[in-house]
Structure 1
Amino acid sequence: MSDSSIYTSVEEVRLAEQDCIARLNGSSNTEDGFGDFTTQGLFCPGLFDGWTCWPSTPAGEVASEPCPAFIVGFDPHRSAYKICEENGEWYFHTVFNKTWSNYTTCVNKEDLLFRQMVITVHTVGYSISLVALLTSLMIFGYFKSLRCARITVHMNLFASFAMNNLLWLLWNNLVVYRTEVVSHNPIWCKVLHVVLYFFLLSNYSWMLCEGLYLHTVLVSAFVSETKLLRGMVLLGWGLPVKFIIIYAYQRAFHPLPDSDSICWMEEANYNIILLIPVVGTVAFNIIFLCNILRVLYVKLRKQPQAGSGASRASLQALRATLLLIPLLGLNYLVTPFRPNQPGAWEFAYEMVSGITSSLQGLCVAILFCFCNGEVIAQIKRKWRMATYRPRANSCTVTTVSVRKHLYVCVYGSAPNL
């Protein structure tokens, strides 16, 4: 069977079986291993076992074929084996109660453990980030005094990250861990793939909104926050929609060879469509931040005392945004330098990529919420109100008239009655 034979649907498997039968019936020599051994004594007849086309094999010998490439976790450079018994029958496995082909050698156990470790890192990181993001959204939603255009932008950014993290967890559990889903390549896993990448793009578009909002507020003194916020919503959610539609259309209606299989896990050349908005948003944010630094520097030089509170708040927001820009773009910046597989650098690449991508949401929550001065002040205020108890000093019964007895609570000094 050819190394390039990849079966991703029932129809393709049926055609492969027909091709196998034709090869077995049409071969008249033994050079390719599909010959007729009727004149040479006992032999096991060639067959198709659902994965591999096995040639006719002399009794007492072991047939070997390349491992099927379409099975997730199988290494196509390894070989599968099938034993032809001395009586001219294929080995029968008594436990499975059927003729058995040995595909256990197809699994690269070291690579499998490595892949499982990478998935575990992603799962743990996304879970932590999701909890942090949901906590941040609850904090912003609970404290009504925090509501403003800037916080609304933060909340949209958190929502996009939370959805992205949730969808990655679903992807790992519903697709990556289920080889039968990957093999059958159902339409729903492709839809999940598209929705997942939509929210991934929205992470970057809302980071662009963060930079654009900060730039607009500092550079333009008079701006309608309502109109600005509407523009942010259109940009933050509208930009990913345009690119994801192009991406999905190209993958669905103009598929490259072997790119329409295994739930679209193969990157092929389609990732350039997703890379364009990501690189563009990171580049624009860097431009915005450079200009923001210039404006703040000029303002602080001209008015060192006036507006110090506003300048301090702007500097804090700038610091958080500045820290996030390289973090959010790190995965795509190192993508062109992905090491060869397998290789010594692949482990380091996958681990760094897994840690940075899965913990991005946590970093966003820390920088924009948990380390936000306004949020900290509101939480402290709420905590003081919840834990404050009036100090009960001396409470005495005092007769102030013949008609009335009053309990007077004294706080330092008696009231004037």
Structure 2
Amino acid sequence: MDDPERIARDQLACELANNQTEPPPGVYCAGTFDTWQCWPHTRANTTAFAPCPDFVPGFTPTLMAHKLCTENGTWWQHPASGKPWSNYTTCVRPEDDVSEIIAVYEAGYSVSLVALLLSLAILFYFKSLRCARITVHMNLFASFALNNALWLAWYALVVRAPATLAASPAWCRALHAALQYALLTNYTWMLCEGLYLHTVLVSAFVSERRLLRALLAAGWLLPLPSAVVSAARRAAAGEPLCWADDGAPRLELALLVCAAVLLNLAFLCNIVRVLCTKLRAGGGAGPARPSATALHALRATCLLAPLLGLQYLLTPCRPARAARYWLLYEYATALTTSLQGLCVAVLYCFCNGEVLAQLRRRWRVLTFRPRANSTTNTTVSFVRSGAAGAGEEKV
């Protein structure tokens, strides 16, 4: 879009055309080139129109952009920048406007980010909760929080700043590369969750310390090659618009994402199989109907879907903009994607029995003020009862 050769060529052609055109009588704005479109000499207090450029993604060439010449013979300046401004907002058809979808993403990511940070604060505070399973959860939360924060920064600094998008500075491209890495860590940490659950359930004898080290390395390092290759390819191609595009998914990114989701689906199927086998083995010779234990295990297993990212199987292929259900797909994707962090935080922190037991115990200790001669005994009894309750819920 900001090809230097095109800009130089079009600017030269614009200057030549304006030099060969007689300006209107009286006060007028001199013809100019704004790097996108050539604007002719225009009489004061009138508006010049020009076709929308066809090289800008999302623009419709059959629509018209416009530029206002003020009554004193100067092009209208935007109050925010103080520079002459051409109005290209009319180059996007109303049905192609995705500002409302972006607002859904921003709201969902903001809510999820708050929930994830609160979850991480709770899990960091209660060191008694620290174990391999909780450590894996915390890294998943951190991955989601990083991804959500970067998406919010992208929308605020790039998407809502067309000048930045058009200039495509180095920091903007670096932000996009970091965003791609953070997005991939979501999938690798969801894969680590599935691998951990599957290993603990299927392999009875496994060193959790060694497994955790392997998962930490895989979760944060596995996305690096794909992200680096993608950034290098974009840099070599000199892609504009801060490397943002709506084209087909890149192979180096799509392979890792598809592998993570499909492997988690295989893990989940095997987890269900092992659970059903164990339930049948311990169910005795009773009638062949689902017991309360089996139903509880099945319900708990279904809750693994957001943890493993299996909801992405519902929206594998993005339809074309011309499709009737395109808008419905975009809203569904915005909700499921942006609120996944909130869903995971609620299910695996705020509704976790061990976490709730610790919160109840801590709240009692902080709010209950017994007499001075019984402080120690009361506090000890609360700690013991809370620890016993937590132990019972673990079982």
Shift of 1:183: 1.1
On the 8 A contact 2:29/2:74 being kept in 1, the answer is no
Aligned to 2:61: 76
Could you say if the C-alpha distance between residues 295 and 344 of structure 1 is closer, same or farther in structure 2, counting changes exceeding 3 Å? closer
| SS of 2:206 mapped into structure 1 | coil
Aligned to 2:148: 165
What amino acid is aligned across from residue 255 of structure 2 in structure 1?
Answer: I
Shift of 1:110: 6.7
On the 8 A contact 2:60/2:93 being kept in 1, the answer is no
Aligned to 1:18: 12
Aligned to 2:37: 52
Aligned to 1:7: 2
Aligned to 1:227: 210
Alpha-carbon distance in 1 for matches of 2:279, 2:249:
46
On the 8 A contact 2:264/2:310 being kept in 1, the answer is no
Matches within 5 A, 1:250-269: 250-254=233-237, 260-269=239-248
Shift of 1:326: 5.4
Task: Show CA shifts across 1:225-266 (max 9, x none).
Answer: 1110011011111111111111111111145xxxx1111111
Shift of 1:301: 2.6
Task: Show CA shifts across 1:350-408 (max 9, x none).
Answer: 2222211111110110121112121122222222333444489xxxxxxxxxxxxxxxx
Question: What is the aligned length?
Answer: 353
Shift of 1:115: 2.5
On the 8 A contact 1:75/1:106 being kept in 2, the answer is no
| SS of 1:336 mapped into structure 2 | coil
Aligned to 2:50: 65
Identity of aligned residues (%): 44
1:97 and 2:74 equivalent?
Answer: yes
Aligned to 1:28: none
What amino acid is aligned across from residue 244 of structure 1 in structure 2?
Answer: A
Alpha-carbon distance in 2 for matches of 1:323, 1:359:
10
Shift of 1:340: 1.8
Q: Which stretches in structure 1 are left out of the alignment for 5+ residues?
A: 1-5, 26-35, 83-90, 393-417
Aligned to 1:139: 122
| SS of 2:61 mapped into structure 1 | coil
Alpha-carbon distance in 1 for matches of 2:113, 2:315:
25
The TM-score normalised by the length of structure 2 is 0.76
On the 8 A contact 2:168/2:242 being kept in 1, the answer is yes
Aligned to 2:227: 244
1:334 and 2:315 equivalent?
Answer: yes
1:293 and 2:282 equivalent?
Answer: no
Alpha-carbon distance in 2 for matches of 1:238, 1:102:
45
Could you say if the C-alpha distance between residues 382 and 362 of structure 1 is closer, same or farther in structure 2, counting changes exceeding 3 Å? same
Shift of 1:195: 0.4
Task: Show CA shifts across 1:199-228 (max 9, x none).
Answer: 111111101101100100011111111110
Could you say if the C-alpha distance between residues 127 and 121 of structure 1 is closer, same or farther in structure 2, counting changes exceeding 3 Å? same
Could you say if the C-alpha distance between residues 254 and 312 of structure 1 is closer, same or farther in structure 2, counting changes exceeding 3 Å? same
| SS of 1:158 mapped into structure 2 | helix
Could you say if the C-alpha distance between residues 96 and 232 of structure 1 is closer, same or farther in structure 2, counting changes exceeding 3 Å? farther
Could you say if the C-alpha distance between residues 98 and 53 of structure 1 is closer, same or farther in structure 2, counting changes exceeding 3 Å? closer
| SS of 1:80 mapped into structure 2 | strand
Shift of 1:155: 0.3
Quick one: which of 275, 279, 282 aligns to 2:258? 279
What amino acid is aligned across from residue 361 of structure 1 in structure 2?
Answer: G
1:208 and 2:191 equivalent?
Answer: yes
| SS of 1:190 mapped into structure 2 | helix
Could you say if the C-alpha distance between residues 314 and 220 of structure 1 is closer, same or farther in structure 2, counting changes exceeding 3 Å? farther
What amino acid is aligned across from residue 277 of structure 2 in structure 1?
Answer: V
Compute the RMSD of aligned alpha carbons.
3.8
Q: Which stretches in structure 2 are left out of the alignment for 5+ residues?
A: 78-83, 285-292, 373-395
Task: Show CA shifts across 1:290-347 (max 9, x none).
Answer: 1111112222233359xxxx999987763432344455525xx535232325x65333
On the 8 A contact 1:79/1:106 being kept in 2, the answer is no
On the 8 A contact 1:72/1:182 being kept in 2, the answer is no
On the 8 A contact 1:80/1:102 being kept in 2, the answer is no
On the 8 A contact 2:120/2:138 being kept in 1, the answer is yes
Alpha-carbon distance in 2 for matches of 1:206, 1:263:
27
1:349 and 2:326 equivalent?
Answer: no
On the 8 A contact 1:204/1:281 being kept in 2, the answer is yes
Shift of 1:72: 8.1
Shift of 1:196: 0.8
On the 8 A contact 2:187/2:309 being kept in 1, the answer is no
Could you say if the C-alpha distance between residues 313 and 149 of structure 1 is closer, same or farther in structure 2, counting changes exceeding 3 Å? farther
